[in-house]
């Protein structure tokens, strides 16, 4: 195995400088499928059996995690042939999807979302649930990172036989990531996962996107006290079905309790995210596990109440329909902005608008005309 010196090693350091950076583990580790790094390809990679639509469908329905992973990879592929096959697989699995509780989890970086998911996920696996963890992270396509890429943060959960963890797809646009995450969610449900946890980092658009694919939306916050409360966008709080003040432990305990009162006061004046449900603030320590069972109780109470009132199913139907139209919109948007006639005329029309020779409305007419002429 090759090694090299870390960046901070003295330039002329010899072998007496004991620190080396080793390449990562390539094979199966801790019961997880191997992650292929660099040249270290497992011998059977090229011989891996090609799966047909029926193999995918049966494998997913049987709860085979390897087939599920491969089905998700198919869903994530941008190659036209794969997309076609992925849709055939999805179509057959659709009637087996839907039987889960979908929970979205958002919050600023470092709020403790992953630690919380690990604690909650392990607790649920212990009580017989099958838990899938997904991520929506449009920024990862830029940074090439992934919010769930750091396996060490969910080390315990990844060892649970009842858990399935999938890092965020690198899909480019948020629309692409959203489609892949939604379809992945459906595949996980067909594979028998009855709790789906979707983590997203709090960067605006992705929160709205996750809200639109889950039943319950949880906002994880920290006690940065007053400033954070001031800076927090009202919009984000209005998306949440519960606000969870994490790191309520040690010296932070008292501040967390105070923050809870502050949040509750503000929530009282905001429009709740779900009709017939009052969003409230709670505290927990994802690290020690205090408060995890309580927030799960809140989530299941929500599920029970909303199913009874019909809001649960109504929301799911509305989410699916609005997903259809948002994909139509995205498609039309791309058709327009990639149309050669639009591309040719755009700059001149913009110039005329900026310099006051053309009204905005007339500009629209000209652009649409450019788009429509054959």
Ligand X SMILES: Nc1nc2c(ncn2[C@@H]2O[C@H](COP(=O)(O)OP(=O)(O)OP(=O)(O)O)[C@@H](O)[C@H]2O)c(=O)[nH]1
Site for Mg ion, rule CB under 5 A: 113-114, 147
Evaluate the CA torsion angle 11, 15, 20, 26 in order and state its sign: positive
Q: Are 151 and 32 in contact (CB under 8 A)?
A: yes
Element housing 331 (H / E)? helix 311-338
Among residue numbers 17 through 76, which ones bind ligand X (CB under 6 A)? none
State the binding partner of 175 from Mg ion, ligand X, none, CB within 5 to 8 A by kind.
none
Q: What is the DSSP string of 209-222?
A: HHHTT-SEEEEEE-
In the complex, the smallest distance separating the C-beta of residue 219 from ligand X, rounded to whole angstroms, is 11
Q: Which of 249, 262, 264, 352 binds ligand X (CB under 6 A)?
A: 249
- Position 168 contacts ligand X (CB under 6 A): no
Number of Cβ within 10 Å of residue 331's Cβ equals 11
In the structure encoding, which two tokens stand for residue 91, read together?
A: 């179509």
Options 226-234, 255-263, 284-292, 310-318: segment touching ligand X (CB under 6 A): 284-292
Q: Which residue is nearest to ligand X (CB)?
A: 112
Find the binder of ligand X among 129, 179, 247, 260 (CB under 6 A). Answer: 247
- Least Å distance, CB 298 to ligand X, is 17
Phi, psi of 318 (to 5 degrees): -60, -40
CA 212, distance to chain mean position in Å, is: 11
Q: Which residue has the tokens 């050669």?
A: 340
Complex with Mg ion: residue 122 or 147, whichever CB lies closer: 147
Per CB under 6 A, which region of 33-41, 242-250, 254-262, 337-345 contacts ligand X?
Answer: 242-250
Query: Which residues on adjacent β-strands are paired with residue 97?
Result: none
Query: Is 370 in contact with 341 (CB distance < 8 Å)?
Result: yes
* Nearest distance, CB of residue 222 and ligand X, angstroms: 9
Give CA–CA dist 226/212, Å, rounded: 29
Q: Which residue is closest to Mg ion by CB?
A: 114
**Is 287 among the residues that bind ligand X (CB under 6 A)?**
yes
Residues touching ligand X, count (CB under 6 A) = 17
Query: In the β-sheet with 280-283, what is the strand arrangement from edge to edge?
Result: 163-165, 131-136, 195-200, 101-106, 216-221, 242-245, 280-283
Which residues 102-161 are close enough to bind ligand X by CB under 6 A?
107, 109-115, 147, 153
Residue 251 touches ligand X, criterion: CB under 6 A: no
**How far apart are CB 172 and Mg ion at their closest, in Å?**
21
How far, CA to CA in Å, does 119 sit from each of 122, 293, 354?
A: 5, 10, 55
Give 114 or 274: the residue with its C-beta nearer to ligand X. 114
Q: Which residues bind ligand X (CB under 6 A)?
A: 107, 109-115, 147, 153, 201, 246-247, 249, 285-287
């Amino acid at each position: 195995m090759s090694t090299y010196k870390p960046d901070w090693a003295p330039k002329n350091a010899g072998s007496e400088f004991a620190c080396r950076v080793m390449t990562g583990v390539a094979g199966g580790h801790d019961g997880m499928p191997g992650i292929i790094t660099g040249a270290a390809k497992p011998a059977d990679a090229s011989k891996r059996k090609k799966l047909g639509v029926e193999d995918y469908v049966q494998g997913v329905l049987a709860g085979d995690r390897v087939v599920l992973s491969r089905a998700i990879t198919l869903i994530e592929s941008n190659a036209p042939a794969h997309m076609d096959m992925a849709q055939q697989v999805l179509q057959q699995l659709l009637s087996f999807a839907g039987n889960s509780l979908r929970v979205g989890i958002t919050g600023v970086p470092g709020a403790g979302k992953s630690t919380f998911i690990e604690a909650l996920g392990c607790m649920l696996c212990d009580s017989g649930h099958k838990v899938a963890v997904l991520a929506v992270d449009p920024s990862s396509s830029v940074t090439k990172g992934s919010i769930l890429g750091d396996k060490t943060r969910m080390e315990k959960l990844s060892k649970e036989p009842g858990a399935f963890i999938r890092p965020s797809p690198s899909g480019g646009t948020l629309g692409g990531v959203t489609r892949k995450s939604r379809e992945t969610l459906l595949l996980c449900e067909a594979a028998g996962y009855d709790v789906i946890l979707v983590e997203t980092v709090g960067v605006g658009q992705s929160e709205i996107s996750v809200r639109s694919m889950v039943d319950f939306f949880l906002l994880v916050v920290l006690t940065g006290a007053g400033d954070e409360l001031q800076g927090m966008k009202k919009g984000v709080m209005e998306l949440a079905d519960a606000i969870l003040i994490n790191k309520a432990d040690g010296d932070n305990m008292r501040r967390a309790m105070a923050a809870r009162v502050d949040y509750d006061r503000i929530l009282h004046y905001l429009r709740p995210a779900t009709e017939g449900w009052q969003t409230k603030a709670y505290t927990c320590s994802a690290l020690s596990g205090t408060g995890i069972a309580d927030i799960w109780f809140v989530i299941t109470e929500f599920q029970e109440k909303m199913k009874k009132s019909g809001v649960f199913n109504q929301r799911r139907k509305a989410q699916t329909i609005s997903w259809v139209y948002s994909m139509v919109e995205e498609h039309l948007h791309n058709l327009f902005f990639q149309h050669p006639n639009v591309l040719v005329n755009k700059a001149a029309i913009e110039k005329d608008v900026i310099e006051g020779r053309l009204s905005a409305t007339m500009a629209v007419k000209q652009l649409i005309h450019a788009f429509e002429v054959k």
